[in-house]
């Protein structure tokens, strides 16, 4: 197999040839056809997450076909197209797993972070955490749904049922969630870094009521806001934009420090919440909602060997929509 490997903190990915991995009990080997490039991959590459296992193959928005089955795998067959998300394993025994909160599992493993991911031609995945994708849709179009879509869905559910929704950071997750929110009859208000005209135009083309810079006040009070950009100073800005009783949902796995802000911004029973990982139920619910909303992803495709270039463009804010690697 061919892989783009992260050898250490802050280092560029390096191409590497390895033997094809062998699936163990309960696992499958997948030939990767597309893998999305997520902001969380940047956090891994830049060493912003704890306890990274080096060397590691990043990538957790994986679409591919099953090549081999380990012992004890049921319900999956060779040739089946599947998706592999961020959450790659849970123990099934801890308090959180037994309380239907597997996203908080004490012993979880994560694709592209604590187990090798999809910036490669092959990967081994826990069969329990593979989503059958069927045959509709292009591989590169489906890849961003495996994290930007799934985490976006979980954050949308946590935002509640309010009709006026703010989205801070209109990238991979934002442009997917906006489509689902519009299909649900919500009004979307998009906030972009530095008044990014391309991102604002994308938001408006997807039915947003308004698009502006992150520092701008929307024309109405919001019922809820979701923050996808990993920028702590956006929290008080979002609190300022939501009504009394409104929610601000922080959807990233990593965020810069949140600055101090006046209590008045929180008062009035406003809430600040975080999203941690996903559950398999999120996946099943989201794929149904995405199909009903006829979600279409906007992607820029890179060859696998240009993974560093894709990451650099994401880091610099030079992507509209989502980046996808294709082996």
For 9-15, the CB contacts below 8 A with 24+ separation are 9/46, 9/47, 9/52, 9/54, 10/45, 10/46, 10/47, 12/308, 13/45, 13/58, 13/119, 13/307, 13/308, 13/311, 15/305
Please give the pLDDT value at position 196: 87
Residue 317's pLDDT band, with cuts at 50, 70 and 90, is confident
CATH of the domain at 301: 3.90.180.10
Structure tokens that stand for 261 in this block: 């802000």
Instruction: Give tens-digit pLDDT for 52-84.
Output: 989 999 999 999 999 999 999 999 999 999 999
**Residue 142, domain extent:** 2-146+297-326
- Strand 271-274 to strand 242-250: parallel, antiparallel, or no bridges (unpaired)? parallel
Share of the chain above pLDDT 70, in %: 100
Do 301 and 322 have their domain in common?
A: yes
Whether 125 maps to a domain, the answer reads: yes
Neighbours of 244 (CB within 10 A): 9
Mean pLDDT, rounded, of the chain: 96
Q: How many domains does the chain have?
A: 2
Are residue 185 and residue 263 in the same domain, yes or no? yes
Q: What is the pLDDT of residue 94?
A: 98
Collapsing DSSP states into helix, strand and coil, what is residue 56? strand
189 in the same domain as 60: no
- Is 198 in contact with 177 (CB distance < 8 Å)? no
Residues 240 and 185 in one domain: yes
Q: What is the pLDDT of residue 10?
A: 86
Cβ partners under 8 Å of residue 291, min gap 6? none
Contact 49, 43 (CB under 8 A): yes
Q: Is the model's pLDDT at 114 over the cut of 90?
A: yes
290 within some domain: no
What are the pLDDT digits (tens) for 152-199?
999 999 999 999 999 999 999 999 999 999 999 999 999 998 878 999
Looking at residue 194, its pLDDT comes to: 80
Same domain, 62 and 112: yes
Q: Is residue 282 part of a domain?
A: no
The tens digit of pLDDT for each residue in 239-258 reads 999 999 999 999 999 999 99
Name residue, tokens 């799934």.
Answer: 150
Asked if 57 contacts 13 with a C-beta cutoff of 8 angstroms, the reply is: no
CA nearest neighbour of 53 among 91, 109, 14: 109
Is-contact 285 180, C-beta < 8 A?
no
The SS3 call for residue 294 is coil
Mean pLDDT of 79-106: 97
Distance of CA 282 to the CA centre of its chain: 12
153 & 245 share domain: yes
Dist. CA 230–CA 228, nearest whole Å: 6
Same domain, 156 and 259: yes
**Are 189 and 304 members of one domain?**
no
Point out the least confidently predicted range of 6-15, 120-129, 190-199, 218-227. 190-199
Looking at the fold, whether 235 and 170 belong to one and the same domain comes out as: yes
- Please indicate, yes or no, if residue 284 is contained in any of the structural domains: no
């Amino acid at each position: 197999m061919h892989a783009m490997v992260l050898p250490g903190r802050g280092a560029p990915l390096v191409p590497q040839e390895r033997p094809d991995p062998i699936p163990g009990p309960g696992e499958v080997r997948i030939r990767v056809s597309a893998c999305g490039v997520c902001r969380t991959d940047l956090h891994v590459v830049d060493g912003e997450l704890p306890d990274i296992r080096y060397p590691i193959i990043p990538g957790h928005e994986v679409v591919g076909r099953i090549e081999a089955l380990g012992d004890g795998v049921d319900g999956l067959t060779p040739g089946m197209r599947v998706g592999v998300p961020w959450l790659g394993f849970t123990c099934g025994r801890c308090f959180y797993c037994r309380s239907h909160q597997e996203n908080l599992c004490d012993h979880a493993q994560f694709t592209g972070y604590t187990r090798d991911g999809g910036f490669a031609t092959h990967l081994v995945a826990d069969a329990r955490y593979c989503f059958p994708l069927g045959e509709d849709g292009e591989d590169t179009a489906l890849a961003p749904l495996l994290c930007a879509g799934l985490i976006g869905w979980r954050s949308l559910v946590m935002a509640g049922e309010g009709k006026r929704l703010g989205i801070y950071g209109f990238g991979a997750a934002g442009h997917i969630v906006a489509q689902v929110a519009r299909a649900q009859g919500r009004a979307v208000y998009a906030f972009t870094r530095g008044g990014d005209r391309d991102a604002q135009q994308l938001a408006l083309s997807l039915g947003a009521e308004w698009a502006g810079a992150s520092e701008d006040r929307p024309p109405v009070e919001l019922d809820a806001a979701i923050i996808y950009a990993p920028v702590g100073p956006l929290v008080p800005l979002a609190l300022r934009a939501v009504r009394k009783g409104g929610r601000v949902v922080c959807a990233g796995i990593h965020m810069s420090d949140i600055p101090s802000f006046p209590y008045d911004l929180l008062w009035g029973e406003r809430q600040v919440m975080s999203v941690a990982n996903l559950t398999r139920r999120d996946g099943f619910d989201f794929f149904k909602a995405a199909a009903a909303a006829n979600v279409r992803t906007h992607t820029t495709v890179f060859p696998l060997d240009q993974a560093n270039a894709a990451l650099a463009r994401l880091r610099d804010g030079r992507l509209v929509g989502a980046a996808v690697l294709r082996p």
